[in-house]
Amino acid sequence: MKKNEIIIYTDGSSLGNPGPAGWGSVLIFPDKKVIELGGREKESTNNRMEITAGIMALKEIEKRKVKAKTIKIHTDSSYVLNGITMWIYAWVKNNWITKTKESVLNQDLWEKLFKVENNLKHQYKIEWVKVSGHSGVHLNERCDAIATSNAGNNTTILFRGNLKDYEKLFGPVAQTQGVQSSTLNKTKNKNKGKIAYSYVSFVAGKMHSDKTWSECEKRVKGKSGAKYKKVFSKEEESDLIAEWTLKSLI
């Protein structure tokens, strides 16, 4: 961890979409204090819980008035990352109406997240970081465990204490810091020559997923504005589809 930096990890979960749902966050402060947060709703969606986890974590910092320069908040949700760093500016500008003249989904939560983030920007530099879910990143895995447990209405003991004791329970936090850049480079090398999980394409306003390049090529070849990408896992496919679908609605 860097000095004067607050580290946050967040995650959300739902059993059904909508269905019983939960969220979890882990915050590590510059004085090496660790706080876990979590909650549940009887019926919600995974995306709403992902946003809620971010809101509650940032509100905790706002309440505590922590002395630091930077907040680095990690999420495995492309929906949250792209929404708060890019799409939300168009949504606000267009009075929360998409270019297809529909209301933005989860507007109530996006407004709360946007507000608390802007309040904190007066004091902190805020950096949003995308992590890969279920890939062994300790704090991401811990947030997932909290969120999933809450979704299942199970008793969840939330940690509050010092970093040294926290690492005894959940592993070295240092392994989760800076993992993104190295992971991205390793992933690129690892994917060389690897068989694709699928080929995702967006053609004439419709999303498609093909198992072979020949199928995808026939679909996109000669089509104006068509885009496509090879992915290597079901999670990567889902993230890409969500990203492209939402981007088309902005």
Catalogue the active-site residues: 11-12, 50, 76, 134, 144
**Residue whose C-alpha is closest to residue 126's, from 195, 211, 37, 54:** 54
- Give residue 250's identity as a one-letter amino acid code: I
DSSP state for residue 178 in the 8-state scheme: T
Alpha carbon of 213 to those of 2, 123, 172, 192, 200: distances in Å? 44, 49, 41, 16, 10
Angle at 147 between CA 3 and CA 149, to 5 degrees: 130
Neighbour tally for 181: CB within 10 Å = 9
Query: Residue 78 is inside which H or E element, if any?
Result: helix 78-82
Residues paired with residue 8 on neighbouring β-strands, in sequence order: 27, 73
- Whether 96 contacts 104, CB under 8 Å: yes
